[in-house]
Amino acid sequence: MQAKNSIKYKIGMAFIILSITCPLFSFLVPLLELPTATTSTLVAFLMIGAPELLLIIGGALAGKEALESIKSKLFQPAGKIRYQIGMTIFLCGILSNWILIYLELTGIMMLGRETMLVIIASIDIGTIIGIFMMGVEFFEKCKRLFCWEGMNNRK
List, in order, residues 6 or more apart from 104 with CB less than 8 Å away.
Answer: 111, 116
Domain borders along the chain are 1-74, 77-155
| Percent of all residues in the chain with a pLDDT value above 70, rounded to a whole number | 94
pLDDT at 42 over 90: no
**Residues 12/63, Cβ–Cβ less than 8 Å:** yes
Which pLDDT score, from 0 to 100, does residue 90 have?
92
User: Using 50, 70 and 90 to split pLDDT, how confident is the model at 155?
Assistant: low
**Helices 50-62 and 7-25 meet at what angle, rounded to 10?**
170
Q: What is the largest CA-CA distance in the chain?
A: 59
Cα–chain center distance at 120: 14
- Mean pLDDT over 38-60 rounds to 86
- 2 has pLDDT over 70: no
pLDDT for residue 154 is more than 60: no
Residues 60-118: pLDDT tens digits?
A: 888 877 777 777 776 777 888 988 999 999 999 999 988 888 888 888 877 787 788 88
Cα 114 to Cα 63: distance, rounded to the nearest angstrom: 40
Measuring CA to CA, which residue among 95, 106, 94, 100 is closest to residue 118?
100
* Residue-wise DSSP of 106-144: HTS----HHHHHHHHHHHHHHHHHHHHHHHHHHHHHHHH
Contact status, residue 8 vs residue 60, Cβ threshold 8 Å: no
Please list, in sequence order, all residues whose beta carbon lies within 8 angstroms of the beta carbon of residue 90, skipping any fewer than 6 positions away. Answer: 127, 130, 131, 134
Q: What is the pLDDT of residue 6?
A: 80
